[in-house]
Structure 1
Amino acid sequence: MGSETETGAETGVVVRDSSTEEDWKSKPPYRTTPGNEPFDKKWTAHCHCGRVKYWLSRDKPLAAKFCHCVDCQALHGAPFQWAAIFEKQDLHFEKGAEGLAFYHAPDKTTAHRLPCKVSCAYCRSPIMDEGRNMVLMFPGIIKFGDAERRKLFDAQCHIFYSQRVVDMHDGKPKWSKLDGQSELMKEVERTDSGEHIVVGQARNENKND
């Protein structure tokens, strides 16, 4: 993603933190209601089981994108991921911060090590990806109320579109990898045959893992 919204979650860079494993609980984005400054509640989001709930204080994300990379496909069990970028201080947990599960994809461990993927430890709903400076939250867990409000979170572009498993006909820019740092891809035209061609790169996994 562009440098102004880079989280570290997209690059696979391992960030070693000298703080203790429990230190994350007292820092954004994992602040909880008691003992914190007043928080302007704009949006609320919660996991499937409701044990994890948080608020967002910004009217709309810094950016929103559809990511088609093979990791998102595998970890979300979906053709692509809808992600909205926020600063860490924009997020405030009402409950459930103590019931989160972490996954550090670069070394496949369950430690809170940046960048990391965050989910509810009970129902396993994806909550967000935490990077060095930003978070990628998933608008699918927001309670929008109506379609007009949802438009504030509309994705501006597609990234890692070269790895897609489904063609998208929405007129949005489609980058082969990160936006602004790769080639723009031509949108595949619709056909009248009803056939669906799956395109994308095969996964290159280590058979010994």
Structure 2
Amino acid sequence: MSRSVTGGCRCGAVRYDLTPDRLPPVYCCHCRDCQTWSGSAFVEQAVVPANALSITKGAPTEQAFTTPIGVISRQFGCPACFSRLYTASPSRPGMLTLRAGTLDASDAVMPIAHIWTKRMQRWITLPDGVPAFAENAPADAFAAILSRAVRGEAT
């Protein structure tokens, strides 16, 4: 039997289990939207299958957000402390974008890529060997990076 990866909001009102038995690959986005939404320099995210996430305590609140290009992004977070937990978007059917900072083991993740580095704060230094893209990574390059990470291969 595999163990699950756990996480939740800041106040503990909403908790989740994420399978499989290891932390998902995480990437960092340095775009202005992510800076504003997180209130920080960037956001760490993991793309995970929707059926891999199980809410074990509480119920996240959903808020729809329409992007500038008209895509409706569904944001899910804690109704008590307002921590954003994950996003569902029609651009990634069957997948969720999990906020990696909500993982209980968030200190154990190591980003596999950085996107929107042209908006990156000047004081941030990226590690050597980690792919970085000035804007969004090309879909095929990003898929290959994720695939290698899921298989446990170096980027």
> Please, what is the CA RMSD of the aligned residues?
2.5
Are 1:141 and 2:98 counterparts? no
Structure with more of its chain in helix, by fraction: 2
Q: Deviations over 1:4-60 (max 9, x none)?
A: xxxxxxxxxxxxxxxxxxxxxxxxxxxxxxxxxxx9651111111111111001223
The answer for the alignment partner of 2:23 in structure 1 is 60
Equivalent position amino acid for 2:42 in 1: F
Q: Structure 1 residues 74 and 46, CA, compared in 2 at 3 Å: closer, same or farther? A: same
Q: Structure 1 residues 121 and 156, CA, compared in 2 at 3 Å: closer, same or farther? A: same
- Measure, in 2, the Cα distance between the counterparts of 1:173 and 1:84: 16
- 1:139 to partner: Cα distance: 2.1
The answer for the alignment partner of 2:51 in structure 1 is 89
- 1:84 to partner: Cα distance: 1.0
Are 1:126 and 2:84 counterparts? yes
**Matched-pair identity in %:** 22
- How many residues get paired? 132
TM-score (norm 1): 0.56
Q: Show structure 1 runs of 5+ residues with no match.
A: 1-38, 108-112, 182-209
The answer for the alignment partner of 1:163 in structure 2 is 119
Structure with more of its chain in strand, by fraction: 2
The answer for the alignment partner of 1:43 in structure 2 is 5
The answer for the alignment partner of 1:199 in structure 2 is none
- Measure, in 2, the Cα distance between the counterparts of 1:106 and 1:114: 6
Equivalent position amino acid for 1:137 in 2: L
TM-score (norm 2): 0.74
- Measure, in 1, the Cα distance between the counterparts of 2:97 and 2:64: 14
- Measure, in 2, the Cα distance between the counterparts of 1:51 and 1:96: 6
Q: Show structure 2 runs of 5+ residues with no match.
A: 140-155
Q: Structure 1 residues 117 and 160, CA, compared in 2 at 3 Å: closer, same or farther? A: same
